[in-house]
Amino acid sequence: MDTDKLFGELADLGVCSSGRRLWGRSDKDVDMIIKVWKRWPEYLMEHSTPALEIVRRYFSSEPDLKKLEDNCIFLDRQVNIELGSEESVFVMGNSSGVIKIRDWATVKLYCFNDISINIECGFHSYVSVECYDRSILSVLSDKGTCTVYAYDDSSIDAPCDPVRVIRKKLSRGQVFNGEEIY
């Protein structure tokens, strides 16, 4: 995979100065891309649809998709996983399936594009979810606490009591537009 070309195409959509500096002094490999992806979800919030098409072109082989999956990034995958406490989990593209959250776990989940995911919260788990684009999320259990921030045309089915859905408007063009925001 030509990671320089991949980053170049993604950067053309808009990357802040900090991101360009980091890339300039780092190894230009898939591990670095994954690290940046997980630390700055704002990039996908800003550019989810055009970035998806670019990422699909470069992450198309099964080994590449498996490497993403091993890092809790699911791109066009059938998802059936159980999570303990994870730093952040991304589900994007046309992914669908079930995510089970273990008892006492803390998980941050980002949903983009046209995904359809069911979440089963474990006993005393805490889940924070951000849904963008046309993502569909169903929370199937009331054992844990789940807060969902819904943006764009995302659809949330949360019949359980401890699920809080907060619908917010997203103004794109405010971050990762090539300039720092102070």
**Concatenated DSSP letters of 8-28:** HHHHHH---HHHHHHHHTS--
Reported as a single tens digit per residue, the pLDDT across 121-156 is 999 999 999 999 999 999 988 788 999 999 999 999
Tell me the mean pLDDT in the region 87-116. Answer: 96
Packing angle of the helix pair 42-58, 30-39 (nearest 10 deg): 150
pLDDT at 173 over 80: no
The confidence score (pLDDT) of residue 33 equals: 82
CA 97 to chain centre: 15
Question: Which residue in this structure is represented by tokens 């002094």?
Answer: 25
Q: CB–CB of 75/59 below 8 Å?
A: yes
The residues spanned by each domain of the chain are 3-61, 72-167
Contacts 24+ apart (CB under 8 A), 132-137: 132/44, 132/45, 132/48, 132/170, 133/48, 133/49, 135/91, 135/111, 137/111
State the DSSP code for 122: P
Instruction: Work out the burial of residue 140: count CB atoms within 10 Å of its CB; fewer than 13 is exposed, 13-18 middle, 19 or more buried.
Output: middle
